[in-house]
Amino acid sequence: MKWIFIAALLLIVPLVAAILRGRPQFISAACFFLGVLPFFLNFHLYVAPISWAYWPGIVKGIEVSLVDALSLGMLLATREHVQTPPAIKAFFGIYVLGLVVSTVMGQQAIPAIFYAWQLMRAVLLYMAVSRAAVVSPQAPLALVAGIAGSVVFESVVASWQYLHGSQQAGGTLGHRTMIGIMSHSAVMPAFALVLGGSRRWWAWAAVVAGAVIAFVGASRATIGLYGLGLLITLVLSVRHKSSSRKLAIGALALVTLAIVAPVMKIAIDRRPEEARISSNQERTALIDAARMIISDHPFGVGANNYVLVANIGGYSDKAGVSWFHESRSAPVHNSYLLVLAELGWIGLIGLIGFLFCTFHVGWKALRRLPGGERSELMVGVLAALIISSIHSAFEWITMDFRMHYMLAIDLGLMVGILAAQSRTARNIRSRAEESSVADGAVGRPAPA
C-alpha cells in the first residue's frame, strides 16, 4: 500500500506544479493546505520507503509526506528568487557541518542520515513558503489561516477528550506537548492580527483555541508560554507600530490572563502531585545522562542516536533513569542539550547562531515595515519563533518532523514577507525614477 501512496505523491508533484504555474491565484489555496496538513499527517498521509520501525531514535526511516509533494510542486511552479539572509545561511551551514562531523564520529550512520533527510524536507518547505509569500500577497494569510483552523479543530477534539475523562488531552496529535508547541504558530500570529485591527474570525478563534488547548492539555510549559507569548507579541507589535488600539487590547489581554491564571493553576493541579514529582525527577535524570554523554563525546554521538547511546553506554544507568519504557525510550527533555549530545558543540553553535540571527533579522525589520496585515502577521510569526525556541528548552519534541515543518513555515513566512516588502520598495523607487526621468525629458527644450 505504501508504494501506491508514494506513486501518488510522485504524480501529485507535476500536477500541482502545472496547476499553480497556469493559475497563480491558486497559490494561496495551496498555502492554506500547507498550513492544515502538518496537523493531520497521522491520518496515513506520510510513509517511509526505508523504515526502521523499531529504531529507538526519533526518526525511524526515510520518510515522505503529502507536505513534501505539495512543497515540491509549489517550488517548481514558482521562479521568484528569495534571498535568505547570509548570516542565517552561514549558521545553518555550521549546523549541517556538526551533523556531518557527528555522523562520521558517531555510533550509527544510517539513523543520522534519516535525520539529515528530515532536515532537508524542512528546507524544501521553507523554500516553497518563502517563494509563495513573495509571489502571492494572500499566501501568508492563507497559510496562517490553515494553521489556525487546525488549532481550532484540535481544541475541539482535545476538549471532547477532556470531557470524557482524559486528564491531559492531546487531540489528534496524541500528546499534550505536541499540540501545545504546534499551537504557538497559530496563536501568536493570530493575536498580532487582532492587535493590528483585523476582524478575521479565525484570528480571534485561534487565540481562544490556544487557551483551551493549554487548559485541557495541562502542560506546564504550554500554559506558561501561552501567556508569555501574548506578552512578547504585544511588545513586538508596539515596536512595529504603536497605537491606542494595541495598547487597549494588550491591557485587556493582560487583565484576562490575570483573571484566568487561577483556572490554569487548577489545570496544572489536575495532575497528581506524585506524577509531577516523578516527572521532575525523570527530567533531572535525563539531563544528568545527557551531560555525561556530552562530556565523553564533544563532537556528538550522531543525530538520532541519543537513546541508543544513553542505554548501551550505561549513561541512563549512571544517571538513575527509570527502567520504565517511556523513560528509557525518550531523549533528554531539552532540545538544546539533545542537539549538543547528538551533533556536538559544532551543531549547538550552529543552532544557537541560527536562532539568534533569525530573531535579529526580524527585530531589525519591525520598524521599517509598513502598516498592514502582512506586516502584523510577520510580528506574530517572529513571536511564535521566539516562544517555540523557549519551549524547546523544556522538550525534545522540536526534533520531530512535524515541528521541523512548523519552524520551516514560520521562518519561510518571515523571510518571504520581508523579501516581498523589499521587492515592493524597489518597484516604487524604480517607478519614481522613471517618472522623474520622464518629467525631465518633457521639461527640456527640443534640440535646434
Q: Over the chain, what is the mean pLDDT?
A: 90
Is residue 434 included in any domain, yes or no?
no
Q: What local confidence, expressed as pLDDT, does residue 433 receive?
A: 64
Query: Above 90 in pLDDT, residue 219?
Result: no
Band of pLDDT at residue 175, cut at 50, 70 and 90: confident
At residue 442, does pLDDT exceed 70? no
- Residue range(s) defining the domain that contains residue 99: 2-417
Are 260 and 214 within 8 A, CB to CB?
no
Global confidence as pTM: 0.92
pLDDT attached to residue 446: 54
pLDDT digits (tens, 9 = 90+) for 223-270: 889 999 999 999 999 999 888 888 898 888 888 888 888 877 777 766
Three-state SS for 247-313 is HHHHHHHHHHHHHHHHHHHHHHHCCCHHHHHHHHHHHHHHHHHHHHHHHHCCCCCCCCCHHHHHHHC
Q: How many CB atoms lie within 10 A of CB 268?
A: 14
Q: What is the tens place of the pLDDT at every residue in 134-170?
A: 999 899 999 999 999 999 999 999 999 999 888 888 8
pLDDT band at 272 (very low <50, low <70, confident <90, very high): low
User: Are the C-beta atoms of residues 255 and 290 closer than 8 Å to each other?
Assistant: no
Q: What is the tens place of the pLDDT at every residue in 91-104?
A: 999 999 999 999 99
> What is the mean pLDDT of the segment spanning 375-402?
93
The residues that bridge with 61 in the sheet, in sequence order, are: 51
Name the residue with cell 489528534. 172
- Residue 423: inside a domain: no
Residue 429: the pLDDT is: 64
pLDDT grade, residue 363 (50/70/90)? very high
Measure Cα distances from 46 to 4, 59, 119, 389 in Å.
12, 13, 16, 26
pLDDT above 70: percentage of residues in the chain: 93
Domain presence at residue 446? no
CB 410 within 8 Å of CB 349 = no
Residue 427 forms part of a structural domain: no
Is 445 domain-assigned? no
Number of domain units in the chain: 1
pLDDT of residue 170: 87
Strand boundaries in 23-92, DSSP class E: 46-51, 61-65
In the predicted structure, residue 440 carries a pLDDT above the cut 70: no
Give me the mean pLDDT over the 404-409 stretch. 96
Residue with the larger pLDDT of the pair 424 and 369: 369
In a domain, 401, yes or no: yes
- pLDDT tens digits for range 43-53: 888 999 999 98
In a domain, 181, yes or no: yes
